[in-house]
Amino acid sequence: MLAPMERTQIQQRLQPTLERLTQKAERLRKGQPLPEAFLQSLNHKLLIELTHGSTAIEGNTLTLRETQLLIDEGITPQGAKHLREIHETLNHHRAVVRLQEWVTAGKTCNVQDVCLLHRVVLQSIDDERSGTFRTERVLVTGAPQQPIRPERIAEEMSALFDWIKSTELHPVLIASEAHYKFVKIHPFYDGNGRTARLLMNWSLLSNGYPLTVIPAEARARYITSIDDADRGHPLEFFQLLCECVESSLDQYLAS
């Protein structure tokens, strides 16, 4: 987790933004009921964009249109697209749908279900190691801060979810910090980034915020902001995620 001083500074710097997000979320909750067809359409749009953005951040080369056609029509992309990329896309879509079902049922964030989500994310890609914590050290090339040792993973994951349940921070800060901490724990061999962004959305959805997309176009900024956070400058990472949350809110409020 962030040091208390870092957390305080971020909250102070982003306070006007956080207040605006709170007001927009309240407007969305208290406003007139939106037409069901519109809600389904917008949710589906965000779901497709979330899947495209999250997989593209990890290097998947499917375009947004190819992602939509694959999910909606079962049309596989033309050209030399790897089977892994197709699995990544379909798996992520299934994981988000399951996540939304859990939120509707009132299921709160927990370690066991995050492992289940990870199993969905890596289905037919790495079934043997999916859903279980890594047992060896891994290195992330170029990262200023390396993932923790495997013997610390279970303890750190438990502490993370205890913190999510107990902290009284603004919901967007909770989701953002949970995302960052999960990436730093790096509990799995593969799929950590996608699972971290699913966890972020689980936290946001549970607190009345819509699906939040980190678009493929923000990939470089997103990765750089995580590296900057590793170097002790986390503000840009939190600012970026606030902007992404606000974009989703604005799409609902525009109706």
CA–CA distance, 255 with 235 (Å, rounded to integer):
31
Q: Which two three-digit tokens encode residue 226?
A: 């995580």
| 52 part of the active site | no
Taking the C-alpha atoms of residue 199 and residue 208, their distance in angstroms, rounded to an integer, is 15
Amino acid at 247: S
Token readout for 198 is: 């699913």
Of these residues, 93, 118, 186, 233, which one is catalytic?
Answer: 186
Alpha-carbon distance 18 to 41, whole Å?
27
User: CA triplet 71, 99, 205: central angle to 5 degrees?
Assistant: 115
What length does the chain have? Answer: 255
Q: What residues act catalytically?
A: 186
